[in-house]
């Protein structure tokens, strides 16, 4: 669908910043230069997190008494970073046995289920700590309790109507939690918990005869997991991510993350948010999508460069396999939709459900995201996960809170959805295969309740003309000046260009040589997944700046938004 370029409404100029940076920050709601001061001293205190004191006391006691702590994680990058952070963090606090377990999505599904508790029980843990999951694990927590295992839930997903009866729950989105930021990723919750545990141990004089770890060393993991999970980049998250990126650029980075950056073609000295989101996160996620996220966790926990490099290479290969699977599934999805022009008519579906019997359940989330971008409406892609069972992954657009929409469908249609959970823009669910058609109709009806026709028109929000010459220095300043992300998007500009040359490369990308009409500056550009040549010689194009390194040459190029 064609995208309209809409310029952001500029706020008031911000004193103390350059005209360009003042405009960019003002366009994102910043009103004072202090709001882009990302010093750690401005980070929110953990005291506002409900349940964190109880959790810290339980963990400090377990550490002091050398009890077995088991981390139960999730199978995405946020879950992997959360798990690695607590495993390494507890070990650095001189805990006793610390192990981890991540449910294989194909065998056990998501979260702390009774079945995964039985697997955990084989290792006789004294305490289970969930990361990036658990807020909906009612039965799993009850089963752990029946086996004499205490459970601490750390999560950030939205809770249901009932909470698990855990020994402690740390989740900024649980009822009555007064923590000012509700946007922490799972790894952010884990970092705050580790901070509270260290404080508790400090008060118990645990560090009288051993070194007290500096928690800033884990912020590279916090930055990666926060960006990978695409949570809103509020001020507190920007502080955490900024410090993590700053430490990476200074070389204070764990071997596994350094290896993943190198294999993705990123220079560690100039790493930015986009490098983590598009270079590292997909390689970590590929392990959880195709095999076992433990490979990614082991990479993040690796202590030497050789082991880290070997594991990063394996993750890279899995990501290549994931791309091939995704490409085929996307082609099948588009074929099943037929002509995309029908989505411009008044009677078109507003909520779209897709399913093919042979689809890979680890890749349906990416396919849902790709199709959502094509037709600009909420999409759920389903894969078969067992006899008469489908697992779906949902991606939404602005205007429809997908987790709340699924909750409404479940309430109005008892028994239709077996289980679900998620965020505003992404969610997962399970339902019986013979109920797919019924659910698809219910989803479309619910989407119509949330969305208006104007919500379905794709819009590119631009910061206007860049107003400066394109240089490598400017591109790097824009990339590194702030941790950009969801809700605080990286700078997007629009200008009028003359197309000097264009060709399709890699089968689906449009390579361009442009001349800026304003001053004639010639610049290279690429539009990923454009797939066809632009018709007119002069075009108003929306773009981001980027630094391209090829055969030792460092140049600036534009990343053009597809038309």
- At 12, which CATH number? 2.40.50.460
SS (H, E, C) 446-465: HHHHHCCHHHHCCEEEECCC
Q: Is 59 exposed, middle or buried (0-12, 13-18, 19+ CB in 10 A)?
A: buried
Angstrom distances, CA of residue 149 to CA of 55, 103, 488: 14, 18, 41
pTM value is 0.93
Inter-residue contact 79 to 132 (CB < 8 Å):
yes
pLDDT digits (tens, 9 = 90+) for 86-135: 999 999 999 999 999 998 777 777 789 999 999 999 999 999 999 999 99
Each of the 563 residues of the chain gets a pLDDT tens digit; together they read 678 899 998 888 999 899 999 999 999 999 999 999 999 999 999 989 999 999 999 999 999 999 999 999 998 999 999 999 999 999 999 999 999 999 877 777 778 999 999 999 999 999 999 999 999 999 999 999 999 999 999 999 989 889 999 999 999 999 999 999 999 999 999 999 999 999 999 999 999 988 999 999 999 999 999 999 999 999 999 999 999 999 999 999 999 999 999 999 999 999 999 999 999 999 999 999 998 899 999 999 999 999 999 999 999 999 999 999 999 999 999 999 987 777 777 678 999 999 998 999 999 999 999 999 989 999 999 999 989 999 999 999 999 999 999 999 999 999 999 989 888 899 999 999 999 999 999 999 999 999 998 899 889 999 999 999 999 999 999 999 999 999 999 999 999 999 999 999 988 899 999 999 999 999 999 999 888 899 999 999 999 999 988 878 899 999 999 87
Print the domain residue range for 534: 4-35+459-560
Both 74 and 189 in one domain: the answer is yes
- Tell me whether residue 521 is in a domain: yes
**Which of 212, 242, 262 is the C-terminal boundary of a domain?**
212
Both 412 and 465 in one domain: the answer is no
- Tell me whether residue 65 is in a domain: yes
Dihedral of alpha carbons 275, 278, 281, 287, sign = negative
- Tell me whether residue 77 is in a domain: yes
Both 434 and 475 in one domain: the answer is no
Residue 419's CATH number: 3.10.310.30
- Tell me whether residue 228 is in a domain: no
**Which of 162, 185, 212 is the C-terminal boundary of a domain?**
212
Pairwise CA distance, residues 267 & 265, whole Å: 7
Both 185 and 50 in one domain: the answer is yes
Residue 120's CATH number: 3.90.1640.30
Both 353 and 467 in one domain: the answer is no
Both 445 and 469 in one domain: the answer is no
Both 525 and 388 in one domain: the answer is no
What does the block give as tokens for 366? 């990416």
Both 415 and 351 in one domain: the answer is yes
Sequence-distant (≥ 6) Cβ neighbours of residue 197 within 8 angstroms? 55, 56, 59, 60, 63, 89, 90, 93
- Tell me whether residue 313 is in a domain: no
539 — phi, psi (to 5°)? Answer: -140, 140
* Residue 520 CB neighbours (<10 A): 8
**Which of 456, 474, 504 is the C-terminal boundary of a domain?**
456
- Tell me whether residue 62 is in a domain: yes
Q: How many Cα atoms within 13 Å fall on the side-chain side of residue 209?
A: 0
Both 70 and 109 in one domain: the answer is yes
Structural domains in the chain (count): 3
Both 63 and 101 in one domain: the answer is yes
pLDDT digits (tens, 9 = 90+) for 181-238: 999 999 999 999 999 999 999 999 999 988 999 999 999 999 999 999 999 999 999 9
Both 449 and 509 in one domain: the answer is no
- Tell me whether residue 298 is in a domain: no
Strand partners, 171: none
- Tell me whether residue 233 is in a domain: no
Pairwise CA distance, residues 164 & 141, whole Å: 6
Residues in the chain: 563
Both 29 and 95 in one domain: the answer is no
């Amino acid at each position: 669908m064609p995208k309209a370029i809409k310029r952001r409404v500029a706020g008031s100029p911000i004193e103390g910043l350059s005209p360009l940076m003042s405009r960019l920050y003002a366009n994102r709601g910043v009103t004072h230069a202090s709001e882009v001061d990302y010093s750690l001293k401005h980070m929110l205190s953990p005291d506002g997190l409900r349940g964190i004191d109880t959790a810290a006391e339980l963990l400090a006691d377990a550490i002091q008494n050398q009890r077995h702590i088991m981390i139960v994680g999730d199978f995405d990058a946020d879950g992997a970073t959360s798990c690695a952070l607590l495993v390494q963090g507890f070990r650095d606090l001189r805990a006793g046995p610390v192990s981890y377990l991540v449910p294989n999505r194909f065998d056990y599904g998501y979260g702390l289920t009774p079945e995964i508790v039985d697997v955990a029980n084989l290792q006789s843990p004294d305490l289970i700590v969930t990361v990036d999951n658990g807020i909906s694990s009612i039965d799993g927590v009850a089963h752990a309790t029946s086996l004499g295992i205490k459970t601490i839930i750390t999560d950030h997903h939205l809770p249901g109507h009932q909470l698990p009866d855990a020994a402690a729950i740390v989740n900024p989105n649980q009822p009555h939690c007064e923590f000012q930021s509700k946007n922490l990723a799972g790894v952010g919750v884990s970092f705050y918990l580790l901070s509270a545990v260290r404080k508790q141990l400090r008060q118990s004089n645990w560090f009288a005869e051993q070194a007290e770890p500096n928690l800033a060393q884990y912020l590279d993991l916090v930055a990666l997991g926060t960006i990978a999970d695409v949570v809103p980049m509020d001020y507190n998250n920007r502080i955490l991510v900024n410090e993590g990126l700053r430490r990476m650029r200074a070389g204070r980075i764990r071997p596994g993350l350094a290896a993943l950056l190198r294999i993705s073609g990123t220079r560690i000295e100039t790493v930015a948010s986009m490098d983590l989101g598009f270079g590292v996160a997909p390689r970590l996620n590929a392990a959880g999508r195709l095999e076992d996220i433990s490979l990614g966790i082991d990479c993040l926990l690796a202590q030497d460069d050789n082991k880290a490099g070997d594991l990063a290479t394996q993750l890279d290969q899995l990501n290549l396999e994931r791309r091939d699977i995704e490409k085929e599934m996307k082609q099948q999805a588009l074929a099943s939709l037929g002509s995309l022009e029908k989505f411009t008519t008044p009677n078109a579906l507003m909520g779209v459900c897709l399913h093919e019997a042979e689809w890979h359940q680890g890749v349906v989330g990416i396919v849902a995201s790709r199709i959502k971008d094509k037709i600009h409406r909420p999409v759920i892609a389903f894969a078969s996960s067992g006899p008469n069972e489908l697992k779906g992954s949902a991606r939404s657009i602005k205007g429809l809170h997908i987790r709340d929409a699924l909750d409404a469908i479940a309430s109005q249609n008892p028994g239709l959805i077996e289980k679900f959970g998620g965020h505003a823009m992404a969610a997962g669910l399970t339902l019986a295969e013979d109920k797919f058609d019924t659910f698809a109709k219910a989803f479309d009806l619910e989407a119509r309740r949330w969305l208006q026709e104007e919500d379905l028109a794709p819009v590119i929000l631009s910061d206007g003309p860049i107003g400066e010459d394109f240089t490598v220095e400017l591109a790097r300043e824009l990339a590194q000046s702030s941790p950009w992300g969801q809700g605080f998007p990286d700078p997007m500009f629009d200008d009028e260009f003359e197309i000097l040359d264009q060709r399709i490369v890699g089968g689906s990308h449009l390579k361009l040589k442009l001349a800026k009409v304003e001053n004639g500056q010639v610049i290279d550009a690429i539009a990923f997944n454009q797939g066809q040549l632009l018709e007119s010689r002069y075009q108003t194009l929306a773009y981001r700046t980027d630094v391209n390194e090829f055969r030792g040459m460092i140049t600036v190029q534009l990343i053009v938004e597809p038309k």
